[in-house]
Amino acid sequence: MALVEARQLTKVFRRPDKPPGLAGALRHLATRRYVEKVAVDHVDLSIEAGEAVAYVGPNGAGKSTTVKLLSGILQPTSGEVRIGGLVPQDDRMAVAHRIGVLFGQRTQLWWDLPVADSLAVLRDLYGVDEGTYRKRLKRFDEVLGLDDLMAVTGRKLSLGQRMRADLAAALVHGPEVVYLDEPTIGLDLSVKDRVREFFRELRDEGTTVMLTSHDLADIEGFCRRLVIIDEGRIVFDGDLEAVKDEFARDRILHVHTETRVDPDRVRAVLPGAVVAAGESPLWHSIRFDRFAITAGQAVAAVTGIAAVVDFRIDEPGIEDVIRRVYSGELRLAAETDAETDSEPDVEGSGEPDAVVTAP
């Protein structure tokens, strides 16, 4: 049985339908009209223990809402969620000990407490023994440079500092499932590299990780499975490398030659290649299918036409596929016939939880 399971998971938010201003608010009190917005639409998702899954989509696609449903923060409108056989909305205490959640836009630190005190409170809440706690803090300090932040209160942390402390807070109890929602937002480049390496260690140690991120460098080299959600629906679920092999086949050779190169001569020796002008008259860009032509063959072909001064090769990345999906250029799966409205700003809305509890 999968460790994380969602079946026909759906979340509909109800928002007041009213004009702006005091007059609109008074009219709403009389009419009580609401508009329903579908944030997550019949999502089926199954994650095995030890998997690292990238869960991506454009803004407002339903990523953060899905994570909140899977962690028990939100109550689904319909469908079901199970974490190790437990329903997070019903078995909140048991599930809380098994999962860790990091939201890039929210913190679980106490604003008026130093980071050390916030982590100590979480240690006591989760019942982590002192020896294990110290061992984990030492590891967090090696990766995140946490020691310098321990005496700083939550409200005085910069975004990058808060993310480092929040990551430690999400992992302090050693969860077996970790949801990471934009985990590297605000981090500088050196810390990002260490954090990404830490994520790989977590995966290799058997921790199940679900990662949402707009920084696709977080995903490549870490996640082996890609799930794409758009307008609340999963439009693709499959192997990340297979997606790259199928939809990101092109390499681009940027080559600087001593003399101008006739594009027709290049196309004659490299069938199927697309030749374009480069940064200057002596730079040329040659796009070719990496499964039909090797990089060595491409360079050798140009060398046979003109003396090569310099060159570089752009490798395809998963960002090429994601960008095309977001822009509507590429469909990875057929759309269903049912029509639905998307939630335009679930990820960035200030208080999505409050919508659930409002009358």
DSSP secondary structure string for all residues of 61-130: SSHHHHHHHHHTSS--SEEEEEETTB-TTTSHHHHHTTEEEEETT---S-TTSBHHHHHHHHHHHHT--H
- The CA-atom distances, in angstroms, between 148 and each of 144, 151, 153, 157, 198 are 10, 7, 12, 11, 19
Range name among 33-47, 214-228, 272-286, 333-347 with the lowest pLDDT average:
333-347
d(CA 104, CA 130): 28
Q: Is the pLDDT of residue 337 over 70?
A: no
What torsion do the CA atoms of 183, 184, 186, 189 make, to the nearest 10 degrees?
A: 170
**The pLDDT of residue 43:** 94
Range name among 90-104, 115-129, 307-321 with the lowest pLDDT average:
307-321
**The pLDDT of residue 112:** 94
d(CA 86, CA 94): 8
- The CA-atom distances, in angstroms, between 253 and each of 112, 142, 241, 289, 295 are 54, 39, 21, 11, 8
CATH fold match for the domains 4-98+175-245+322-347 and 249-314: no
Q: Is the pLDDT of residue 48 over 90?
A: yes
Range name among 80-94, 248-262, 316-330 with the lowest pLDDT average:
316-330
> What's the whole-number mean pLDDT along residues 194-214?
89
Q: Please compute Rg for the chain using Cα positions.
A: 25
Give the tokens for residue 120. 């100590």
**The pLDDT of residue 309:** 93
d(CA 123, CA 118): 9
pLDDT top residue among 263 and 327: 263
Mean pLDDT of the chain: 85
**The pLDDT of residue 354:** 29
**The pLDDT of residue 245:** 79
d(CA 174, CA 163): 18
Q: Is the pLDDT of residue 164 over 60?
A: yes
Strands 34-47 and 4-16: antiparallel
CATH of domain 4-98+175-245+322-347: 3.40.50.300
Range 186-199 burial, b when 16+ CB lie within 10 A, else e: ebeeebbeebbebb
CB 245 within 8 A of CB 217: no
Q: Is the pLDDT of residue 334 over 70?
A: no
**In the chain, what are the helix, strand and coil shares in percent, each to the nearest 5?**
35, 25, 40
Q: What are phi and psi of 30, to 5 degrees?
A: -80, -40
Task: State pLDDT tens for residues 246-290.
Answer: 777 888 999 999 998 888 999 999 998 888 887 788 998 999 988
Scanning the chain, the segments in alpha helix (DSSP H) are 21-31, 63-71, 92-96, 115-126, 130-144, 159-171, 189-204, 240-247, 263-269, 295-303, 318-326, 352-357
Q: Identify residue 288 by its one-letter amino acid code.
A: F
Domain 249-314: which CATH class? Answer: alpha beta
**The pLDDT of residue 339:** 40
d(CA 38, CA 36): 7
CB 284 within 8 A of CB 278: yes
Q: Any idea where the domains of the chain sit in the sequence?
A: 4-98+175-245+322-347, 249-314
Q: Is the pLDDT of residue 200 over 70?
A: yes
